Amino acid sequence: MRSMEFLGSHILSIDQFERPDIEKIFSTSDHLLPYAKRERITRILQGAILSNMFFEPSTRTRISFGSAFNILGGEVRETTGIEATSLSKGESLYDTSRVLSGYSDIIVMRHHEAGSVSEFADASRVPVINGGDGDNEHPSQALLDLYTIEKELKSKNKTIDGLRIALIGDLKYGRAVHSLCKVLSLFNNVTINLVSPEKLELPFSIKESFSNSSVSFFETDDIKEGISDVDIIYMTRIQEERFSSRNESDKYKGLMSLNQEIYTKNCEPNTIIMHPLPRDSRPDANELDSDLNQNPNLAIYRQTDNGLLIRMALFSLVLGVDKKIEDSTSEIAWYSDK
Ligand code: CP
């Protein structure tokens, strides 16, 4: 199996990775844990600049990429929203990329159009990481999800090979689900329960790609059936921003909801609960009820913590400092109880 060259590469799709590449990202993440937990400081990226270009709303992806770069010692320049940039004056992605790559050592970009981050990367003189492009892909989310899955299963003496997972909600527009399905195809004997309203089913192209893997799947619109025989439940939000109107997206809100009662009655003991977040906590949606917040099997905040590590690992590998972290370390000087 051929390993990928991380140094100087764009990270645009989860399809770029084979299993050894993922193992490398995960071992790098493990190595960076003391820095993410602020037990130690590294300044290995001192002088480097990240341009964090989020042309679509984000909380955790934007802040965790920025924090990851800061923790490694680099500086972050940020734009949020197209209206705050000259894209709103008609400037092309090509020109924007040529300009920004002169100011930066690496760029993270999110944009509402599928394929836009690739187009931007083609014009860039520095590596570009896809922070989510329309309904297409969210590769760093899939990596942090997979890392979380591995850790959660390990605590139960299980592995990703043999995983049983239910993907629930908006499987049509959910880019996190699209990337996760692709990466799960690298593993052996994975069973995926695809649980969605019929109109929001997983795109055919991804289902078709399962035939080249050992993934087996079945589809249902019955959440109780879908969650009854799995190790992991992966809930998702209705991606209302991808629909033609709010009226259209509202038709699907509240159809697939998980709460403690449904969980207790239908799941195997200790089934792990994940969600890429944000969850839609408005009463008409509420796909993941807050009455699960104290359930020890709820892994959503372990996912978000792991996002910092995975993004630190990606910067380290792409910028070629993964083996040099210890060259530039010291103890922290402030109070920390993480
Ligand atoms: N999971 C995720 O992409 O969250 P944000 O939209 O808040 O970045």
- Report which of 165, 218, 155 is spatially closest to residue 187, judged by C-alpha positions: 165
**Strand bridging mode 40-42 / 329-331:** antiparallel
Asked if residue 202 and residue 254 are part of one domain, the reply reads: yes
Sorting pLDDT into bands at 50, 70 and 90, what band is 330?
A: confident
pLDDT of residue 329: 85
Asked if residue 276 and residue 157 are part of one domain, the reply reads: yes
- Region 67-84: mean pLDDT is 96
* Inside any domain, residue 1: no
Asked if residue 125 and residue 27 are part of one domain, the reply reads: yes
54, 56, 59, best to mutate for ligand 1 pocket (most atoms within 8 Å of CB): 59
pLDDT of residue 335: 82
- Note whether 295 and 272 are within 8 A (CB): no
Asked if residue 180 and residue 290 are part of one domain, the reply reads: yes
The total of structural domains in the chain comes to: 2
What CA–CA distance (Å, rounded) separates 26 from 154? Answer: 14
* Inside any domain, residue 162: yes
Token pair 């000087």 is at which residue?
333
Residue 174 Cβ < 6 Å to ligand 1: no
| SS3 assignment, position 295 | coil
Asked if residue 144 and residue 279 are part of one domain, the reply reads: yes
Domain of 110: which CATH number?
A: 3.40.50.1370
Token pair 């993922």 is at which residue?
22
Ligand 1 atom 5: residue of nearest CA? 58
CB atoms within 10 A of CB 138: 25
Residue 304 Cβ < 6 Å to ligand 1: no
Asked if residue 109 and residue 55 are part of one domain, the reply reads: yes
Kindly tell me if the per-residue pLDDT of 1 is higher than 70: no
| pLDDT averaged over every residue in the chain | 96
pLDDT of residue 259: 98
Domain span at residue 156 reads 139-301
pLDDT of residue 222: 97
Q: Convert the pLDDT of each residue in 219-254 to its tens digit.
A: 999 999 999 999 999 999 999 999 999 999 999 999
- The type of residue at 216 is S
Using CA of residue 282, residue 302, residue 72, residue 134, what is the dihedral sign? negative
* Inside any domain, residue 280: yes
Q: What angle do CA 193, 195, 197 make, to 5 degrees?
A: 155
* Inside any domain, residue 311: yes
Residue 182 vs residue 328, higher pLDDT: 182
Asked if residue 124 and residue 41 are part of one domain, the reply reads: yes
* Inside any domain, residue 155: yes
pLDDT of residue 2: 66
Structure tokens at 23: 């193992």
Asked if residue 279 and residue 322 are part of one domain, the reply reads: no
| Strand (E) or helix (H) holding 139 | helix 139-154
* Inside any domain, residue 2: no
Cα 173 to middle of ligand 1, angstroms? 14
What CA–CA distance (Å, rounded) separates 258 from 141? Answer: 22
- In 3-state terms the chain splits into helix, strand, coil percentages (rounded to 5) of 40, 15, 40
Structure tokens at 204: 């055919």
* Inside any domain, residue 9: no
* Inside any domain, residue 59: yes
Structure tokens at 131: 């922070």
Q: Convert the pLDDT of each residue in 299-328 to its tens digit.
A: 999 999 999 999 999 999 999 999 999 888
pLDDT of residue 87: 95
pLDDT of residue 297: 98
Confidence (pTM): 0.96
pLDDT of residue 55: 96
Kindly tell me if the per-residue pLDDT of 296 is higher than 70: yes
Asked if residue 295 and residue 313 are part of one domain, the reply reads: no
What CA–CA distance (Å, rounded) separates 35 from 40? Answer: 5
Asked if residue 20 and residue 161 are part of one domain, the reply reads: no
Asked if residue 257 and residue 134 are part of one domain, the reply reads: no
On the question of a cis peptide bond just before residue 296, with omega within 30 degrees of 0, the verdict is: no
Asked if residue 151 and residue 248 are part of one domain, the reply reads: yes
